[in-house]
A and B are shown apart, each in its own frame.
Chain A
Amino acid sequence: MKEAIGLSEATILDERKRQVHRTGQGELDLACNTDSLAGAVSQRACVFCGSRVVLYPIADALHLVHGPIGCAVYTWDIRGALSSGPELHRLSFSTDLKEKDVIFGGEKKLEAALNELIDRHQPKAAFVYSTCIVGLIGDDLEAVCRRVGEAKGIPVLPVQSEGFKGNKREGYKAACNAMWKLVGTAPIDDIPPLSVNILGDFNLAGEIWMVREYFQRMGVNVVANVTGDGRVHDIRRSHGAKLNLVQCSGATMDLAKMMKDEYGIPFIRVSYLGIEDMADSLYQVADFFQDQDPTIVERTAELVRSELSQLMPKLAELRKDLEGKRVAIYVGGAFKAFSLLKAFRHLGMQVVLVGSQTGTKEDYEELERITDPGTIIVDDANPLELSAFIKEKGVDLFVGGVKERPIAYKLGLGFCDHNHERKIALAGFEGMYNFAKEVHLSATSPVWRFVPRREQTPLEVTHG
């Protein structure tokens, strides 16, 4: 083992050493949320990406990317964020800046493009994302947005998402700032007392619909989805909800905090991934409302019981084949990693590596606490490091995003997609089963017997 550790340590650039930690070995001192290191092939994205991820699912808004073509084209319909109605978010709009715009400024083009697109699509609001180059040429986004907004009579919101101004996290903040301008601009008198906003779920593969269905069975109303299957009008009246449910390690946390400060709406952190977290989230909501509706806790317990009684036998079946297999988790937010850790315990699998792109110090402390000794914890890893760790730990299955898949596959590892581009609903009790099924499908495939890291035995040839 010693040699193996040496091997993977060798592939870590000196400056990156503080972004790797092993549970139970020394003080945790992860230097997270630093800027990505030059030359390290990072999985990290930019500020713009963070903003785009959060705002993208708002389906009746126009999302115009102000910049050269790339930033828009690489984010065209890349995520499985579903809408039950309009699908304006699935188109990719850009000002496609050209050399002369870069030299003389892009404001005129932006204004003309906004007018053209708003006339064509009649959106309920428009988000205008600034990209790196716009930050440089100094276009006054605010002014253009204000002018067009007044002329067209819809909110036109600048998103200050110049890519180089930090990482994804800054982008979340910029997105929240933009949405914040919508909150509190529509009447709320018809909102019932048992009401929540769902923050930080993007309705990948229809997940928010599943969660909303649970709340409906509990008798809780959802005012706004922020932002999965999101609508501008709902966000405008989201200040009428009594409670905010914030999922994910931070994409929409800023908005929840602003709503708390301004409107006194409390928030709780929830997760819909995995059995405990899902049940716990529902119970937290029930507890919150039990003074107003004393039977809600019982109703919730009944819901959880009935869901579990269907789920558990099915999971037990799958677990038989998965017991003892080793897993590496590398996801965008650390919060998701917590849920995944628990989910794998239900499947009898052992998590030997966890990493995230955007975890905070607290996140990593929590991971250190809940992982087994020797587990590798990394912040913002690159492909080489990941592959070295995978080898060292003898991983069977890798959970990550679309960029990690080829690494896993190249080395002959099972893989489950756990990112914004997935097409399978993983939230809720049903999602836990989908997840387990996917893990099972991948981990039990016979193809792993043929990959180079396994010894090959040809079929016997017989005579006669």
Chain B
Amino acid sequence: MAESYVSTTNACKLCTPLGAALAFKGVQGAVPFLHGSQGCATYMRRYVISHFREPVDIASSALGEKHAVYGGGPNLKQGILNVMKKYSPALVGVASTCLTETIGDDVPMLLAEFRREFSDLNPPELVHVSTPSYMGTHTDGWRNTVLSLTRQLCTETSQANETVNVFPTLCSCEDLRIFKAMFREYGLTPVILPDYSDTLDGPALAEYEPIPAGGTPIAAIKAMSGATASLDLGRCLPKDTAGADLETRFGVDNLRLGMPMGLRESDAMHHALSRISGKDMPKHIVQQRGRLVDALVDGHKYVSGARAVVYGEEDLVAGLASFLTEVGIDVVLAATGSEKCGLDSAVREVTEDLGRVETEVRMGVDFHEIAERAGQLKPDLLVGHSKGYRYAREWNIPLVRVGFPVHDRFGAQRIATLGYTGAQQMFDRIVNAVLDKRQADSPVGYGYQ
């Protein structure tokens, strides 16, 4: 274990409310609202917009100096009123920030007051989540938001229905669409929370929509208590999750499995879907799987033994480690900015019986530490979001971009990673990145590879 540093250089994580804002973007009619100063919301919008290339409105209570002293309550209420006037939202998702957590604003109480004071205005659903950034990362913000949504909206037992609750970790819009297609194949109706596949990847419009169409309907969240089962996705989940909560309160069967990344995690997912639906894997999917295996065989030599470093959100990293190890890539380092998130055991679970090398796992690290370690490990390949680019460039190795954010490539919201088709696309991209590099480095200029 190398020494760790006091300072952080080029962080490999984002702040908690950003995860909250993204999750709220996946609820129908919702406006994310950061209770804090204006700067945070503006910065996060910019960051999210550069990835999705879509309008992303995040409101803020825009606290100033005097509110920091006297409390932000009045601004929070005024802010919600203004959002109501402007957007007529079905839901306002209030996430706290470092500032309001520190001054100790009691958001649940303020919202309760708001509902009372303005009951005649018929206020929208108000969901709050506590997201101080000095605790946790955007991943925690995401998860706590999903949990807050189910806790605060799904409060009554609803009629048993045929739906399946799905709680994914941060993934692309295309990945969310892949989920839906997967469920359709088994005749199942998923309620994915959050679902920003349309809100953050919508069509060109003639009329500007203050709140983009799409997202998980609030009624569907309320009805989650009657679902057939929940799928809690991710191997680095804490104990308290939306799926666990619904199981405890309403007895909804909660299945925990990894994000379906690569062959085996996708197999597990299909197995679960098959069990829930009582249907065999449809022929169509069998074909997809078969094509994927065929591709892994065709391409294995190009990547076999290549040394890869993966980094990013813990569950993405666990999924990537699983997939890369399956295809014969040696994952020499798996790193995340999240602390104590269980990435070490998650990576072990998915690579143990396959890997030719033992994957070194580092948690709570920044890019300075990743680079320091990678400098010794001499990777051939980086796999992760676009903030690793400066290192890929320095070491003259390819970076295969997945995850969030992708600020230096086009089409981030359509990068597929999940299911057999996602694995197929990832594999194609990785093999081609290796070939590209080979071609560029070769004095010969082979036209066949």
Contact = CB atoms under 8 A, between A and B. Distances in A.
Given A39-B83, A402-B49, A47 B61 contact: no
Nearest to A391: B208
Interface in B219-236: none
B59 A41 contact: yes
A77 B417 CA distance: 27
A70 B46 contact: no
Contacts of A452: 204-206
Contacts of A264: none
A37 B39 contact: no
A38 B74 CA distance: 9
B65 interface: yes
A411 B204 CA distance: 7
Contacts of A94: 7-9, 11
A383 to B, nearest CB: 6
A71 B43 contact: yes
A13 to B, nearest CB: 6
A406 B102 contact: no
Contacts of B9: 91-94, 117
A439 interface: no
A133 B205 contact: no
Interface in B1-19: 5-11, 13-15, 17-18
Contact of A411 (B38, B57, B64, B208): B208
Contacts of B26: none
Contact of B134 (A40, A133, A163): A133
Nearest to B61: A38
B7 A403 contact: no
Nearest to A115: B6
A402 B46 contact: yes
Interface string A165-188: 111000000000000000000000
A43 B102 contact: no
Contact of A406 (B54, B59, B86): B54
A286 B37 CA distance: 45
Nearest to B50: A402
Interface in A66-83: 67-78
Contacts of B81: 39
B7 A13 contact: no
A70 B204 contact: no
A120 to B, nearest CB: 9
A91 B47 CA distance: 17
A172 to B, nearest CB: 14
Interface string A383-412: 110011001000000000011011101111
A68 B55 contact: no
Given A40-B59, A71-B43, A383-B57, A133 B85 contact: no
B178 interface: no
A95 B43 contact: no
B424 interface: no
B83 A453 contact: no
Given A44-B38, A137-B102, A92 B135 contact: no
A69 B11 contact: yes
Contacts of A13: 82, 85-86
A166 B64 contact: yes
Contacts of B37: 46, 132, 163-164
A113 B59 contact: no
Given A38-B62, A39-B81, A64 B7 contact: yes
Contacts of A136: 68, 99, 102-103
B256 interface: no
Contacts of A64: 7
B309 interface: no
B290 interface: no
B80 interface: yes
A109 interface: yes
Interface residues of A, number: 75
A112 B6 contact: yes
Contacts of A41: 41, 45, 57-60
B47 to A, nearest CB: 5
Nearest to B80: A39
A111 B7 CA distance: 10
A99 B80 CA distance: 28
Nearest to A68: B133
A424 interface: no
A39 B68 contact: no
Interface string A77-117: 11000000000001111111111011000000100111011
B154 to A, nearest CB: 27
A102 B38 contact: no
B287 interface: no
Contacts of B42: 42-46, 49, 403
B412 to A, nearest CB: 13
Given A39-B79, A403-B45, A96 B206 contact: no
Contacts of B62: 35-40, 42
Nearest to B85: A13
Contact of A38 (B45, B53, B82): B82
A136 B132 CA distance: 14
A74 B46 contact: yes
B134 A97 contact: yes
Interface string B227-255: 00000000000000000000000000000
B26 to A, nearest CB: 17
B7 A116 contact: yes
A70 B83 contact: no
Given A133-B134, A391-B208, A383 B38 contact: no
Contacts of A92: 9-11
B8 A42 contact: no
Given A41-B57, A94-B7, A73 B15 contact: yes
Contacts of B41: 41-42
Contacts of B82: 13, 37-40
B98 A132 contact: yes
Nearest to A408: B55
Nearest to A114: B7
Contact of B46 (A42, A116, A387, A403): A403
Given A116-B7, A117-B7, A136-B68, A68 B134 contact: yes
Interface of A: 11, 13, 35-49, 64, 67-78, 90-99, 101-102, 109, 112-114, 116-117, 132-133, 135-137, 163-167, 383-384, 387-388, 391, 402-403, 405-407, 409-412, 451-453
28 contacts: A38-B60, A38-B63, A38-B75, A38-B76, A40-B59, A40-B86, A42-B62, A45-B43, A46-B42, A64-B7, A68-B15, A71-B43, A72-B8, A72-B11, A73-B13, A93-B7, A94-B11, A99-B135, A109-B6, A112-B7, A116-B6, A117-B9, A132-B98, A136-B99, A163-B40, A167-B38, A402-B46, A403-B49
Given A41-B60, A45-B38, A132-B39, 16 more contacts: A36-B60, A39-B62, A39-B81, A46-B40, A68-B15, A70-B15, A71-B40, A92-B10, A116-B7, A132-B37, A163-B38, A167-B38, A388-B208, A411-B205, A411-B208, A452-B204
The 5 closest A-B CB pairs, nearest first, are A46-B39, A70-B15, A39-B82, A39-B79, A38-B79
